Amino acid sequence: MSFSIIGTGSKSPSQIKTNDDLAQVMDTSDEWIQSKTGIRERRILGEETITDLVVESSLLALEDAGVQAKELDLIICATVTSDYITPSMACIVQRRIGANCPAFDISAACAGFLYAWDIADGYFIRKPDSKILVVGAEAVSKLVDWNDRSTAVIFGDGAGAVVLGRGEGLKAVKLNTRGDETALYAKYKKGNCPFRDNGVDETGQPGGHATFLHMEGQRVFQFAVSSMCRDLKNIVKQAGLELDNVDYVLPHQANQRIIDYAISRLPLAPEKYLGNIAYRGNTSAAAIPILLDEFAKQGQFKKGDILAFSSFGAGLTSAAAILEWDK
């Protein structure tokens, strides 16, 4: 395979909202949220924007890598909650960090960060000396209906980034999609085109851009559990390894109970699963890069460690990767 991680960075909003804070604005409780999800608190955007967080996490990753923005060959940003519909988040960040390479976003929801790795892998095969910035960023607080307690309580906002350089770190990456537009979605409204529906959308109001996020929680839960167990088993095989060879699993931080299911079904010691959901919540495409950066900065990984990644989300998409830590 084609690349190694040479720098990581992440940035979360400064505003912390605990489960008790949520119970002030909706009918829920700390007891319900903790027992059903493992989440105690999450970060929610206040005055800063998601673009600000992406810029900061990108600069931190570049600094960690010892790479100048102008040396970048490509920027890929995985997000479905950019501040703009167009231009892409990646284009805005390219200008703000002072890069001059091509830049684009991808939409693969929570699995987007690993989808971007697959794209980067192909790019490195064509241009092995590249330096690529891959970002996962999400401001789900802009998209959820804060009157829908079964969805709003699990999400948080944040951004994480990695700089990829030439290397042999990536051992395998695999993407899966099971198209489904009803389990987890947010839609554009119809707009106010005067040549359709008298220029009003389905709510009878003119204009508007998107509906709230709708999630069939239990259906997504079942997809998550089955895809995570299948993807982890398959990706280890694809990398020519055994599950025993995995030193750490970095799973999507969607719900602690999903991770606990995987722990109960796969022959891997529970302490190998890294997590931060208790204080970050589910940050969608940002979850894995934030988790990776936090544990990397704590010195958790040593050269030669085998890391297994697994993610899943709206689409329905899922993805897994195996990476040898060689930073």
Residue 324, H or E segment? strand 315-324
Amino acid in the structure at residue 251: P
Residues 202-231 that bind ligand UT7 (CB under 6 A): 217-218, 220-221, 224
**19: contact with ligand UT7 by CB under 6 A:** no
Stretch that binds ligand UT7, among 29-37, 79-87, 204-212, 271-279 (CB under 6 A): 29-37
Under rule CB under 6 A, residue 315 binds ligand UT7: no
Would you tell me how many other CB atoms lie within 10 Å of the CB of residue 270? 11
Q: Is residue 35 involved in binding ligand UT7 (CB under 6 A)?
A: no
Q: What is the token pair recorded at 11? A: 């940035």
DSSP secondary structure of 208-237: --BPPBEE-HHHHHHHHHHHHHHHHHHHHH
40 contacts ligand UT7 (rule: CB under 6 A): no
In the bound state with ligand UT7, the residue whose beta carbon lies nearer, of 153 and 246, is 153
Which of positions 77-116 make contact with ligand UT7 (CB under 6 A)? 110
Q: How far is the CB of 172 from ligand UT7 (least distance, A)?
A: 23
DSSP string, 156-218: -EEEEEEEEEESS-EEEEEEEEEEESSSEE--B-----TTSGGG--TTS-S---BPPBEE-HH
Q: How far is the CB of 110 from ligand UT7 (least distance, A)?
A: 4
3-class state of residue 43 by DSSP: strand
- Size of site (CB under 6 A) for ligand UT7: 21
Q: State the residues that interact with ligand UT7 by CB under 6 A.
A: 28, 32-33, 36-37, 110, 149-150, 153-154, 217-218, 220-221, 224, 254-255, 258, 282, 284, 313
